[in-house]
Structure 1
């Protein structure tokens, strides 16, 4: 099962496919080669992810739209983006350096806090990367049966085209980072995206489940995926090792703080661990709709959001979640606190900003 954001993108992208079909008759241009079109409607168009870049908010979404706001979400401007592919996630490890990922294996980088972007990688290159990397390992270790299989997987990606979505991105700093996506697609960079190393052999994911989200809790780096898949970086073994969980449905996100990790996903399921994933407590949400976004606020409390538009803030050390109803079903796919404390969320209807008093801790 793919992530919620991907479901949303597929549904909303149907119109784009029709338009592209018509445009082929007059000379089709791949979305990877077509810059995002400036639009006054971008702020109310589907958006799928958001991050803080210092005091600036940066949101990404459909048709390559990237928006930024310097006044806590009151006014938005559209950034210059070299592609029109749907974007799924954005991450800024510092105020200036940021990365965004999306459909067709696209990886974008900004060095000016989201004002301008350039393409570092796309799906037309990823298959060749896998072939080259794993073929070299196969030649060096002819007795290892894993390498030819992974090289063959890269060849299949090359033959199938560039349509493999990347679903999330995380950077530790302006050099070290990861991008993750469908069918166990994962790449790592140690030079800020100038080069990428396939990491399919470094995950305990033999069934090739989709990797929906990647995030650090402060003392652990986790990847959440479908069918209960949760991985944690093992620094000794230099791989993402499987972490057993009591839920076998898809996880759409992971977040936490030192000493604690929370994963969330389908049907209102939220799990919390305070011992690095050795044991889990199920947090009662009272919901049966998917939880699709979340962040840790300035008071170290969790803010989770659903596809129905509800917000669930945590309270106290027990991380008890309290449901806050929202007026109207507005799916949320990303959220963040602005510099002035206001809560800003994005989703299928674009940006939604709420005042500070409405989002104060319960």
Structure 2
């Protein structure tokens, strides 16, 4: 008996195309652990920090590495593969890392293993809950905060966090793009948005947060400098005679130095009330800085410059590097040297 086989046009096309290949399922970086790779140490690294005597570095694809002697490095266990931008260690054991997709990571063993405390999706929920529909529809500030919250929520999980700082194992801040600022007082178990406690109505990106000059400062886009009013628990804008982007700040109890695009740096010795321009003789972006135990200040650039000041940041002299490479982070190293992280991993440079 002849049986006729009927094929639809779609079935014919499928047969001609061959067997169906299953498409891989997309896993967001916030849910995908960082891959272990011997190349991680040589990939671009964005952050360096000291966890007691241990050095910790972080960078692309969730890679975190640590070394107890600055020579042999091990890759940490990290539950995300998001690019990481900053590290903070208030003690030898407890540390935090932040990065893209709004990730906040925590370690309790000096950087060997990490757990996720927060991500961009959760941040959107926190912001929406805190700044939802205002009770008073005529309150202009409340409406602005609601619009800002709606904008952050609309971004989805993509909320880059760009810096983190902790004063101890409980209290700290994480800051990032579009005026994103979060506060914790319980070691990251809970985070509170501080959008209503910062004078940044235009929603500028926040790039750096550090204590200096007797207070806590934040720097960001278009010359933005903010200083924490401890009594009012609010970051208040300070006037700076410069409108370019600032990538970070460094200082000591008496002085604060802010730095950024095209080698620009400004210094204040009165808590941010007045600023003087520092001539760095550099035209590349200054990306990181530290104050060393001997009182000197070191700045580094994306073009490989190393600058050192021995007069509280008033003047800087260049240090010739052993190898020129883009620098994204700097930390103290043994023997008065500095460790640099950037393109090509971590290297140590002497300052003599």
* Alignment TM-score, normalising by the size of structure 1: 0.88
Which deviations, in whole Å up to 9, do the C-alpha atoms of 1:305-340 show, x marking residues without a partner? 011111100023563100123355411011111255
Q: Please report the RMSD computed on the Cα atoms of aligned residues, expressed in angstroms.
A: 1.6
- Equivalent residues of 2:181, 2:195 under 8 A apart: yes
Give the aligned partner of residue 11 of structure 2.
Answer: none
Which deviations, in whole Å up to 9, do the C-alpha atoms of 1:198-244 show, x marking residues without a partner? 11111111111100010012621000101000000011222000011
Give the aligned partner of residue 274 of structure 1.
Answer: 269
Give the aligned partner of residue 45 of structure 1.
Answer: 43
Tell me, in whole angstroms, the C-alpha distance in 2 between the residues paired with 1:275 and 1:134. 35
Which runs of 5 or more residues in structure 2 are unaligned?
1-21
**Secondary structure at 2:150's aligned position in 1?**
helix
Q: Does 1:91 align with 2:88?
A: yes
- Equivalent residues of 1:55, 1:339 under 8 A apart: no
Give the aligned partner of residue 11 of structure 1.
Answer: none
2:209 to 201, 211, 214: 214
Q: Does 1:170 align with 2:191?
A: no
Cα deviation for residue 83 of structure 1 reads 0.1
**Secondary structure at 2:77's aligned position in 1?**
coil
Give the aligned partner of residue 113 of structure 2.
Answer: 116
**Secondary structure at 1:309's aligned position in 2?**
coil
Larger Rg: 2
Tell me, in whole angstroms, the C-alpha distance in 1 between the residues paired with 2:93 and 2:137. 44
Tell me, in whole angstroms, the C-alpha distance in 2 between the residues paired with 1:299 and 1:313. 12
Give the aligned partner of residue 102 of structure 1.
Answer: 99
Cα deviation for residue 46 of structure 1 reads 0.5
Tell me, in whole angstroms, the C-alpha distance in 2 between the residues paired with 1:81 and 1:298. 31
- Equivalent residues of 2:213, 2:269 under 8 A apart: no
Q: Does 1:338 align with 2:333?
A: yes
Tell me, in whole angstroms, the C-alpha distance in 2 between the residues paired with 1:345 and 1:256. 19
**Secondary structure at 2:223's aligned position in 1?**
coil
Give the aligned partner of residue 236 of structure 1.
Answer: 231
Q: 1:25 to 1:157 in 2, by over 3 A?
A: farther
Cα deviation for residue 131 of structure 1 reads 1.1
2:351 to 343, 350, 359: 359
Which runs of 5 or more residues in structure 1 are unaligned?
1-23
Q: Does 1:67 align with 2:65?
A: yes
Which deviations, in whole Å up to 9, do the C-alpha atoms of 1:139-193 show, x marking residues without a partner? 4x56533234323432333333111100000011111100000010001011111
Tell me, in whole angstroms, the C-alpha distance in 2 between the residues paired with 1:32 and 1:242. 33
- Show the 5 A alignment for 1:133-144: 133-135=130-132, 138-139=134-135, 144=139
**Secondary structure at 1:96's aligned position in 2?**
coil
Which deviations, in whole Å up to 9, do the C-alpha atoms of 1:28-84 show, x marking residues without a partner? 11110000001101111000011111000111100000010100x211110000000
- Equivalent residues of 2:213, 2:256 under 8 A apart: no
- Equivalent residues of 1:131, 1:150 under 8 A apart: no
1:347 to 342, 346, 349: 342
- Equivalent residues of 1:132, 1:151 under 8 A apart: no
Tell me, in whole angstroms, the C-alpha distance in 2 between the residues paired with 1:265 and 1:77. 32
Whose helix fraction is larger, Structure 1's or Structure 2's?
Answer: 1
